[in-house]
Amino acid sequence: ILPLILDGITTAKEPTTNINEELELEEEKKWLKLWKELFRKEKNLFTQNFIK
């Protein structure tokens, strides 16, 4: 059972999460994954060119 948060004095409601923050976090995770993949490819290309 989730704890209830007092809203003012008389009303209790379930805590909510900020949906925008969650969406921003998901977007940041996507960008980070993309950058990691690009870096990995660049690193492989650099290594291949260096060995030639």
Is position 6 within any domain?
no
Is position 34 within any domain?
yes
Is position 42 within any domain?
yes
Is position 30 within any domain?
yes
Give just the sign of the alpha carbon dihedral 35, 41, 43, 45.
negative
Residues 6+ apart with CB under 8 A from 6: 12
Which residues in the chain show pLDDT less than 70? 1-17, 50-52
Torsion of CA 27, 29, 44, 49, to 10 degrees: 40
Is position 41 within any domain?
yes
Find where tokens 């805590």 sit. 15
Question: What total number of domains does the chain contain?
Answer: 1
Q: What is the pLDDT of residue 30?
A: 93
Is position 25 within any domain?
yes
Q: What is the pLDDT of residue 14?
A: 61
Q: What is the pLDDT of residue 12?
A: 56
Q: What is the pLDDT of residue 52?
A: 58
Domain that holds residue 25: 16-51
pTM, whole model, 2 decimals?
Answer: 0.48
Is position 33 within any domain?
yes
